[in-house]
Structure 1
Amino acid sequence: MTSHPPAFPGDSPSRDPFLRDTEARLGSASAAGSLPEWDLRDLYASPDDPRLAADLEAAERSARAFEAAHMGRLASLSGDALDAALREYERVEEVLGRVMSFAQLLFSGDAQDAGNGRFYQTMQERVTVIGSHLLFFTLELNRLDDAFLEGRMAGSRALARWRPWLRDLRVFRPHQLSDEAEKLLHEKEVTGRSAWNRLFDETIAHMRVPVERAGRSEELTVSAALNLLSDPDRSVREAAAAGVSKAFGGNIRLFSLITNTLAKDKEIVDGWRNYPRPGTSRNRANMVEDEVVDALVAAVVESFPRLSHRYYAMKAKWLGLERMKHWDRNAPLPGDLDRTIPWSAAREQVLGAYAAFSPELAEMGRDFFDKPWIDAALRPGKASGAFAHPTVPSAHPYLLLNYHGKSRDVMTLAHELGHGVHQRLAAKQGYLMSGTPLTLAETASVFGEMLTFRAMLDAETDPARRRLMLASKVEDMLNTVVRQIAFYRFETLVHDERRKGEVSSERLAEIWMSVQVESLGPAFDFTPDYGVYWSYIPHFVHTPFYVYAYAFGDCLVNALYGVYQDGQVPDFQRKYLDLLRAGGTLRHQELLAPFGLDASVPAFWKRGLDVISGFIDELERADG
């Protein structure tokens, strides 16, 4: 099960993590109270843990034995024997998944620590070598014809359990290369894309952003500087924006090189695999058709005027500005004190909202707080933004946040906790089938946000405060839907243009500015220095074409939540938990059918977007 990439640091707002006493593990102090830090010992005690070394050695022996026993022989196996092979393959893969989860989380906790970087790279290299002995298995399975597999599954109930995984594996059958080519790509990953990803992460972690405020100059981390773009003081926002532009502008040649190299790398691999366009491989991995993604993108772009353009015109008026600058986009609204919310209060707000919907969901979520499974503390070197890492079914997920105590941070907590409980519910499907396509991975997270928002809104009796809360929710939804589709369009244009030759940093800025003007509308007057802001988005580097999944998930949840509110689906909570438990065993058509929803129908996306438009309608009525 792959990790959930970090959220965008601009849209969500070096200590040894092992050798701490119990009191220290409770976290660091801040204005939001004592913040938790995770304890990774449920995976391994440290990089030198003898158990880690033993696991790697045992996994390598098992992988070599597996290769010797099965390579070239799958067509001769009975259904039950294929089941046994799959179970052994899953067991070894889960050991490797545990090792890499530990290395990734350690690195995310402090990328400034050179030892963490070396350990992460060493583990990638070691796991890649071990994995090369397993690579034949999926390739050989895909060379078996459909009739053979169907016959084996018909004769073996044990093998039939793997039908969803085999179905998804065979989606990539037309794009599979020779065994030698696949092995070469597999082994070169550590000196290819993975190496460029590490360079990006370490560069961001070591960067310091110069911010001039209150007559003094500060050197802030990227996360801290981006957080200031939500400061109530416009001069602070402007200073932070100038600092971010200066810091990333000073590194723009490096970020442009990383982007061009990875885009060309993708073009080469896509060409060999005969993918028709840059986003197709991602859509295949998400188990969603290109046409469904096209329909989503077209629906959102068509709705830019009635969503973002309309809302930001109101916001400019509220801020007393004829036109806003880019550093005003996340500005708090007049009268919004956005009091600091202690971590303890955030916990109760989120768990209370979950419990009102489903006590079972809340109980699963409570474990994350009662046990050291969350890292919310603020510290240098820590990954920006937020994510939920599922690790492996034999362990449990971990959540990373950077908690500043704002309302948006509470929503981020609700979001990541949704991922966490989803991953726990799906874990019973096992390592190979618990992973959820990215388009569906956002379902529980966005639903958790909606539950928390509705609970907080219903509890608020002050009309002015309710208006501010509604406006804040609209901004979050615009960030999730409009902004991510704009990011998707940026990626598409960049990858298309890269096929004609290297794209200059100046041209990257032009493309970025064009999609920002298109998506955010005439309420903004963009300054040229905003042209470098594409360079801090980690998804472009780590997971190309991931970003539309946020919009997919938000629109899906809007439609799903509408069904819940209408009360037209009996036993909704049970069906919803069953959806989460399914993990990767069902496609989106099957998962949505019990709720009477179909993502292949254009009206589905309009229904989701109408929820956002309705919130803006309500704001306009209150404004009038």
Structure 2
Amino acid sequence: MLHLPFPVQDANAGSGDKGFGDLPEWDLTDLYPSEDAPELRADLDWLEKECSAFAEAYEDKLADLDAAGLYECVQRNEKINNIAGRIMSFAGLRYYQHTTDAGRAKFMSDCQEKITLFTTPLVFFTLELNRLDDDALDQHFASHSELARYKPVFDRIRAMKPYQLSDKLEKFLHDLGVVGDAWEKLFDETIAGLTFFLDGDEYGIEGTLNFLTDQDRDKREAAANELARVFGENIRTFARVHNTQAKEKEVIDRWRGMPTPQTGRHLSNDVEPEVVEALRNAVVSAYPRLSHRYYELKRKWLGLDRMQVWDRNAPLPMETQKTVGWDEARKIVTDAYAGFDPRMADLAEPFFTDGWIDAGVKPGKAPGAFAHPTVTNVHPYVMLNYLGKPRDVMTLAHELGHGVHQRLAAPQGEMLSSTPLTLAETASVFGEMLTFRKLLETAKDQKERKVLLAGKVEDMINTVVRQIAFYDFECKLHEARRGGELTPDDINAIWMSIQAESLGPAFDYMDGYETFWAYIPHFVHSPFYVYAYAFGDGLVNALYANYEENPEGFQEKYFDMLKAGGSKHHKELLAPFGLDASDPKFWDKGLSMIEGFIDELEAMED
């Protein structure tokens, strides 16, 4: 029952140019002053002793506890979660700042191994909880209101009951976790260490991906070919990581009796498989009305007979090469947040002033962007790779949305603050929407409005269409892996089988594009995570439509939803807004907003 906080890199982290001001770096001293700090050593010592004492006090005894005793047990477990999470947050954030630094990598590995060793005696906790009698547990909840607050946590734990293994096997899998983590580290270090050459200069992955949004088509083509070259040279390593992790998952799922590779993700997300299936089907059926239609428009704007993959994120011809300085980006986002509710801007302010953001692109730094919640008695940290383009402003708005959400949910405590991934994207995507709407309101002419609308549609396609295509890729990959080892060509073929369907007939596909699955971190760090983006976007579109239709009292309901963290199911959280994600029509409502923006863009052509 150990819930270590872990950042998952966001999918659409931006790109851009130099010359955007002084960028902030993390100050991690709110966690620990240094890796050899006495406070850190004291916490490691405490954790080792407390895990042992916890097991001695409660193993084989949970069924004998009264409500007050079980509540005290939960409180002690939560404190263990907090200290372990604090240690791993510090180690992990230092590592993500410089993944190719051997000392930082060793420090994180050593911390992970120690915490895994210390917490192995705790494996009994969830196993015994799942053996408790339902009626007895209900009586405990009825008689103890503070314990009853944790019922959603118990419910999520007990949802795993049908898939639980023996105590000995569960402890074995717990200990083996550090081996699986090693494959994730191999992926991170390989990605961060890749070197690309363009026009005689050397770049990392972020700087090279940046060229795919350059105004100059020749530069975009050169970058795409260089990405393909380097991915191709390293494809055996990436294929080995995917093969190993997919096989490990298949073995564990088979032993647990999970019916599909996706089952574990749905359970951890506290979402029903049929809801995800309804979302997936709604998006796939909308491909022709969304991505296919938009990219055909973009093909005409670019004056091309055929689009190439390096044109997918190209700027529009009428778009000026704009660099957004850091101070301007900060003002845009905080003004948009304050326009919705001043409390949003207040919650975001310390990220800028107190060392809670690491924004610059640096050698060895992990690619992408994330907001890491750390632990509930510290604060979140946001990582960006800020390169000054308007899309980077949206990434800042997105990650600050996560940060605000995490701050609001923190009073729930370690076990209840963590929001299931399907709802974890709500505040981030809502923050993007607020920022976009603010920019749209202040557009000075039709040309600027068109650029803003097109940019938003592209972001939504990347968040909805592209992520559902990623989800389909993962489903096919894990299914194919059950039949045996996959060669790089096998994985390449699976990737290409979903690309044309999602992007549409406007595109041709360069040689080498078949390897572009290799750099997506979600496939390695968090299998089947990606549908959470589409879930979040559809949810926010429906929420924003609700805000426009019924603005009275919306802010309070919205804040209440964020403050709830993981203490309520999505049905409960959406009920005050009159929304229900289990209704298939719900997703059509969200997708219709994207269609509306494309309609407006098409009307501008007349």
Q: Which structure 1 residue ranges, 5 or more long, are not aligned?
A: 14-28
SS class of match (1:399): strand
Q: Deviations along 1:204-224, whole A, 9 cap, x unmatched?
A: 11110122x3xxx22210111
Q: Could you say which residue in structure 1 is the equivalent of 2:593?
A: 611
- 2:188 counterpart of 1:201: yes
Amino acid at match of 1:152: H
Query: Within 2, Cα distance between the matches of 1:169 and 1:70?
Result: 18
Amino acid at match of 1:587: H
Q: Could you say which residue in structure 2 is the equivalent of 1:50?
A: 38
- 2:397 counterpart of 1:411: no
Q: Is the 8 A contact 2:14 2:389 kept in 1?
A: no
Runs of 4+ with deviation above 2 angstroms: 1-4
Deviation for aligned residue 1:30: 4.8
Could you tell me the percent identity over the aligned residues? 54
Q: Is the 8 A contact 2:332 2:435 kept in 1?
A: yes
Q: Could you say which residue in structure 2 is the equivalent of 1:18?
A: none
List aligned pairs for 1:514-553, cutoff 5 A.
514-553=497-536
Q: Could you say which residue in structure 2 is the equivalent of 1:12?
A: 14
Q: Could you say which residue in structure 2 is the equivalent of 1:431?
A: 414
List aligned pairs for 1:76-87, cutoff 5 A.
76-87=64-75
Q: Deviations along 1:118-160, whole A, 9 cap, x unmatched?
A: 0111011001011112221111111102111011222222321
- 2:125 counterpart of 1:125: no
Query: Within 2, Cα distance between the matches of 1:488 and 1:107?
Result: 28
Query: Within 2, Cα distance between the matches of 1:378 and 1:260?
Result: 30
Q: Is the 8 A contact 2:59 2:124 kept in 1?
A: yes
RMSD between aligned alpha carbons? Answer: 1.1
Q: Could you say which residue in structure 2 is the equivalent of 1:113?
A: 101
In structure 2, which of residues 37, 54, 68 is the aligned counterpart of residue 66 of structure 1?
A: 54
Amino acid at match of 1:412: T
Deviation for aligned residue 1:461: 2.3
- 2:600 counterpart of 1:621: no
Query: Within 2, Cα distance between the matches of 1:102 and 1:239?
Result: 38
Amino acid at match of 1:442: E
- 2:253 counterpart of 1:270: yes
- 2:22 counterpart of 1:34: yes
Q: Is the 8 A contact 2:14 2:386 kept in 1?
A: no
SS class of match (2:172): helix
In structure 2, which of residues 121, 143, 153 is the aligned counterpart of residue 155 of structure 1?
A: 143
- 2:320 counterpart of 1:328: no
Q: Deviations along 1:560-589, whole A, 9 cap, x unmatched?
A: 00000112x631000000000000000100
SS class of match (1:183): helix
Query: Within 1, Cα distance between the matches of 2:294 and 2:144?
Result: 57
Query: Within 2, Cα distance between the matches of 1:426 and 1:386?
Result: 21
Deviation for aligned residue 1:338: 4.0
Query: Within 1, Cα distance between the matches of 2:121 and 2:495?
Result: 42
Q: Is the 8 A contact 1:80 1:158 kept in 2?
A: no
Q: Which structure 2 residue ranges, 5 or more long, are not aligned?
A: none
Q: Is the 8 A contact 1:210 1:247 kept in 2?
A: no
Query: Within 2, Cα distance between the matches of 1:135 and 1:59?
Result: 15
Q: Could you say which residue in structure 2 is the equivalent of 1:19?
A: none
Q: Could you say which residue in structure 2 is the equivalent of 1:145?
A: 133
In structure 2, which of residues 565, 575, 582 is the aligned counterpart of residue 600 of structure 1?
A: 582
SS class of match (2:517): helix
Deviation for aligned residue 1:166: 0.9
- 2:405 counterpart of 1:422: yes
Q: Is the 8 A contact 2:476 2:494 kept in 1?
A: yes
Give the alignment's TM-score, normalised by structure 1: 0.95
Question: What is the aligned residue count?
Answer: 602
- 2:266 counterpart of 1:283: yes
Amino acid at match of 2:71: D
- 2:381 counterpart of 1:398: yes
List aligned pairs for 1:430-509, cutoff 5 A.
430-509=413-492
Q: Deviations along 1:337-394, whole A, 9 cap, x unmatched?
A: 1411110011111000001111111100111111110000111111111000000001
Q: Deviations along 1:294-341, whole A, 9 cap, x unmatched?
A: 000000000000000000001011101011111110000002014111
Q: Could you say which residue in structure 1 is the equivalent of 2:153?
A: 165
Q: Could you say which residue in structure 2 is the equivalent of 1:589?
A: 571
In structure 2, which of residues 233, 236, 256 is the aligned counterpart of residue 250 of structure 1?
A: 233
Query: Within 2, Cα distance between the matches of 1:615 and 1:609?
Result: 10
Amino acid at match of 1:4: P
Query: Within 2, Cα distance between the matches of 1:516 and 1:5?
Result: 23
Query: Within 1, Cα distance between the matches of 2:74 and 2:286?
Result: 46
